[in-house]
């Protein structure tokens, strides 16, 4: 309970600290602020907790897809490029639904947007059952697309809701705190996939031929496909149950900026937003970062199987190491943000990842796989920091700018197939990671361009 009191503002004893005894830099503006500055009002703890739970859920869902890439590759006998369409289906949903989600949120408020997102999210999960029974890859991709649409609505609403739920000067810390619940979800997603989707049965070419000769190979592939149903249906039910809880929760209506007001011309608004340099740069950086993150994790199992000769389950457990490193990076780096500006930390992290990933490309094998794990630690702060910079100080334009930043997640639909295309052409997953290097270079340039704000003392 003392932790919640500190988050809500004040000392663990519940009394406000009137003395600034430990000043630290404001994350983006360089101003000095109290180290005990409030992250959010006490009245906002319950909505904050409920919305933060969403970060866990979509993290779990997004990283289940890393397992699906390998499972569908086996179940449908897909090429590396075809298998990466799993990520394309999910993140194309982000591209399609982010802007409509912003319009709904702007008119009806954050709570309505969250409920719509949870409805789509849960429905997409439940669609896995009929899609698996029918046994069509296209239907599986459609179910993933619906899940991606729901995730897009949730991210479009949840991120700005968290950012605006307290003092503006602590928005980056608050969003990084909420986002720190995303990595545990990603870890759970991979573990669920490892033990409930992967069967542990990996047939040799001779065994495949024997099953084909006896007419049993199709049955084997269908049984592998049906293993995706229980985890997804269970998660879908949990999501819909959470929607019921949120429906009865009381949200702060003061955050409904211009809710119910007549909308301006949408095209004019988008043009105005894109003329804002911070938004345009943030969209480009977010596109590249999301492509880099999803590519790194979705190709990790094939990379490890190709160069370290591991089984699917061993490679999946090794993938969990990426997510643990990501979680550790988020927690450790969020604490450092009380002392260092997030944008400068992000720039340094991007430069480190260029070097480490370059090693993984040039020295494939177990050391290269370990290098990929290390990159996960340093990518941890990039998404929330880019997002916070992109929407900072935009007022009534926040929801629309947020939707464009969520639309930029479509980078995760573009870069993984590009990785698969390079891997298929070169027959090397290591060389497939070359586009990811370019993505981190863009993030580094974005950070460098936004890291020069002067430091000045507060009044």
What is the distance, to the nearest Å, from the Cα of residue 287 to the centroid of all Cα atoms in its chain? 12
Q: Tokens 């944008």 identify what position?
A: 343
Query: What pLDDT was estimated at residue 347?
Result: 95
CA distance 309 to 292: 24
Q: Tokens 């480190």 identify what position?
A: 352
Give the three-state DSSP class for 26.
coil
Query: What pLDDT was estimated at residue 125?
Result: 96
Residue range 415-438: average pLDDT? Answer: 92
Question: Is the model's pLDDT at 1 over the cut of 50?
Answer: no
Query: What pLDDT was estimated at residue 359?
Result: 96
Query: What pLDDT was estimated at residue 392?
Result: 82
Question: Is the model's pLDDT at 14 over the cut of 50?
Answer: no
CA distance 183 to 380: 9
Q: What is the pLDDT of residues 18-37, one digit of tens each?
A: 333 333 334 334 333 444 44
Query: What pLDDT was estimated at residue 43?
Result: 63
Number of domains in the chain: 1
Query: What pLDDT was estimated at residue 27?
Result: 36
- Give the number of other Cβ atoms within 10 Å of residue 375's Cβ: 28
Q: Please check whether residue 170 lies inside any domain of the structure.
A: yes
Question: Is the model's pLDDT at 258 over the cut of 70?
Answer: no
Instruction: Evaluate whether 334 touches 173 at the Cβ level (below 8 Å).
Output: yes
DSSP-derived secondary structure for 322-346: HHHHHHHHHHHHHHHTTTS-HHHHH
Q: How far is CA 195 from CA 132, 189, 223, 281, 452, in A?
A: 19, 10, 15, 41, 47
More confident of the two residues 98 and 41: 98
Query: What pLDDT was estimated at residue 13?
Result: 33
CA distance 197 to 208: 20
Q: Please check whether residue 225 lies inside any domain of the structure.
A: yes
Residue 281 sits in a domain whose CATH number is 1.20.1250.20
Q: Please check whether residue 14 lies inside any domain of the structure.
A: no
- Give the number of other Cβ atoms within 10 Å of residue 286's Cβ: 28
Q: Please check whether residue 283 lies inside any domain of the structure.
A: yes
Domain that residue 93 falls in:
42-251+265-449
CA distance 357 to 431: 11
pTM: 0.72
Q: Tokens 């990518």 identify what position?
A: 379
Radius of gyration of the chain (CA): 22
pLDDT winner (highest mean) among 75-79, 308-312, 396-400, 417-421:
417-421
- Please count the CA atoms within 13 angstroms of the CA of 432 that sit on its side-chain side: 29
- Please count the CA atoms within 13 angstroms of the CA of 244 that sit on its side-chain side: 6
Q: Please check whether residue 33 lies inside any domain of the structure.
A: no
More confident of the two residues 429 and 7: 429
CA distance 353 to 379: 8
- Structure tokens, 115: 């409920």
Query: What pLDDT was estimated at residue 291?
Result: 95
What share of the chain in percent tops pLDDT 70?
85
Residue range 54-74: average pLDDT? Answer: 86
Q: What is the pLDDT of residues 143-187, one digit of tens each?
A: 999 999 999 899 888 888 887 777 777 776 787 788 778 878 888
Q: Please check whether residue 25 lies inside any domain of the structure.
A: no
Question: Is the model's pLDDT at 206 over the cut of 50?
Answer: yes
Query: What pLDDT was estimated at residue 11?
Result: 30
Q: Please check whether residue 277 lies inside any domain of the structure.
A: yes
Query: What pLDDT was estimated at residue 368?
Result: 94
What is the distance, to the nearest Å, from the Cα of residue 364 to the centroid of all Cα atoms in its chain? 26
Q: Please check whether residue 260 lies inside any domain of the structure.
A: no
CA distance 292 to 419: 10
What confidence category does residue 9 fall into, taking pLDDT thresholds of 50, 70 and 90? very low
DSSP character for 454? Answer: P
Residue 25 host element (H or E): strand 23-25
Residue 33 host element (H or E): strand 32-34
């Amino acid at each position: 309970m003392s932790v919640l009191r500190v988050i809500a503002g004040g000392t663990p004893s519940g009394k406000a600290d009137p003395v600034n005894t430990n000043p630290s830099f404001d994350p983006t503006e360089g101003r000095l602020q109290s180290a005990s500055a409030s992250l959010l009002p006490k009245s906002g703890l319950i909505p904050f907790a409920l919305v933060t739970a969403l970060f866990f859920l979509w993290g779990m869902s997004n990283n289940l897809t890393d397992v699906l890439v390998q499972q569908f590759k086996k179940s449908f006998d897909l090429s590396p490029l075809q298998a990466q369409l799993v990520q394309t289906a999910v993140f194309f949903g982000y591209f399609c639904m982010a802007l409509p989600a912003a319009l709904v949120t702007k008119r009806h408020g954050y709570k309505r947007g969250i409920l719509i997102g949870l409805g789509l999210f849960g429905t997409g999960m439940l669609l896995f059952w009929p899609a698996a029974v029918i046994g069509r890859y296209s239907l599986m991709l459609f179910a993933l697309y619906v899940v991606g649409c729901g995730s897009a609505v949730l991210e479009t609403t949840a991120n700005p809701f968290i950012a605006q739920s307290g003092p503006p000067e602590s928005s980056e810390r608050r969003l990084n705190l909420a986002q720190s619940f995303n990595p545990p979800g990603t870890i759970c997603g991979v573990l669920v996939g490892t033990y409930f989707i992967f069967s542990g049965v990996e047939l040799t070419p001779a065994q495949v031929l024997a099953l084909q000769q006896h007419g049993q190979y199709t049955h084997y592939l269908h049984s592998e496909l049906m293993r995706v149903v229980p985890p997804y249906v269970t998660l879908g039910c949990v999501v819909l149950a959470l929607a019921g809880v949120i429906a009865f929760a009381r949200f702060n209506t003061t955050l409904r900026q211009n809710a119910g007001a007549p909308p301006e011309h949408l095209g004019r608004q988008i043009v105005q937003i894109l003329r804002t340099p911070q938004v345009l740069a943030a969209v480009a950086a977010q596109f590249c970062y999301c492509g880099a993150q999803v590519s790194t994790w979705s190709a990790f199992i094939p990379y490890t199987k190709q160069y370290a000769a591991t089984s699917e389950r061993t490679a999946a457990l090794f993938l969990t190491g990426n997510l643990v490193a990501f979680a550790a990076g988020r927690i450790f780096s969020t604490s450092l943000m009380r002392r260092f500006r997030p944008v400068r930390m992000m720039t340094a992290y991007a430069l480190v990842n260029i070097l480490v990933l370059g090693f993984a490309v040039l020295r494939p094998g177990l050391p290269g796989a370990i290098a990929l794990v290390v990159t996960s630690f340093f990518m941890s702060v990039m998404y929330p920091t880019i997002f916070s910079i992109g929407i900072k100080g935009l007022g009534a334009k926040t929801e629309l700018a947020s939707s464009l930043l969520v639309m930029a997640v479509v980078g995760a639909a573009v870069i993984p197939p590009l990785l698969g295309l390079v891997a298929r052409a070169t027959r090397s997953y290591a060389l497939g990671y070359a586009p990811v290097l370019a993505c981190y270079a863009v993030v580094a340039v974005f950070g460098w361009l936004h890291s020069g704000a002067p430091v000045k003392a507060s009044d």
